[in-house]
Structure 1
Amino acid sequence: MTTAEYRAHEQSVPWSDVSRNSRTVAEKAAHGPVRLIRRGVDTDLILISADQYDTPDAGVFTALRLTDAYTELHDRDAAARRVFPWIEFLTDGEQGEFIRILFTKLEAAASLSSYSDFQRTVGSWRGTAENYAAGIVPAADDALDWLDDPAPVERP
């Protein structure tokens, strides 16, 4: 997430709320950055969740691995397969779509120095591969019954 994206979702709270309403401040930080405003001090602090802190680094690291593999192999498919061996669980069509989207997202991420969407895309495709590996495959469209009006169900 870029600085501009952080600021767009940023909430501000007084520094004293950290001790008086720590649960509320923590809940806000779970959903986006929280600016802790300190009176009499030139610099405020920003509180973010560990996931928000780690995501940009994970995205940059993934991009670096992919770029390194491409530099060595000079082939996008081979580079993607080296960095993401789990794509073998995807169908042939899905593998091609993943590789196409992967490099499009990487180029966009690099142009903005914002790798969170790139990392989410990789995670989403990996989740699909994990499901296939576990034997969970999508049903054919004709095997699905679509409900006109959703009905509540009991929790399993």
Structure 2
Amino acid sequence: MSATYDIVPFSDLLHRPAVTVGFLDRVRALRLRRRDAGDLALMRVEQLDSEGVVVDFTARLLAGLVRRVDRDAVCAVLPEALPWVVFLPDDDVDEFLTELVAVVQGAASLQNLAPVATLLAQWRHTAEVHADPALLDLLTSEPEGDLGPVPVPEGHPG
């Protein structure tokens, strides 16, 4: 296997299934490009299972390191994996690490990494706010005076 994945039109799978699936002999997965919807991925079950084992191992390793090794040491190397962490206040880094361990373990047990991607995106956005002093001030300052009644959202019963 030389490449990670190839991109092929979804129609190739429909019109030439044996040839298209045969590409899996030289790549880890196929990205099936669709014009009318999101792309799909095609891979062998053995590959999917192997990746699941690696994710589970990584989740358990991360949790073990955070619990048993000096937590400060883990926080110190975190920016190597996620450079934007440097913009988070120390208390937020600690909270992020705690949430990350819990979510990674839960996601690995469900074999669904979407919650990890969501958590990383949320904390990256938090770091973006902390990186911009004007935005941080805008979002953390108290508004002056009463801003008036809040209208009921459209479609809300009342």
TM-score computed with the length of structure 2 as normaliser: 0.45
The structure with the greater share of residues assigned to strand is: 2
- Structure having greater relative contact order (Cα 8 Å, sep ≥ 6): 1
Q: Which has the larger radius of gyration?
A: 2
TM-score computed with the length of structure 1 as normaliser: 0.46
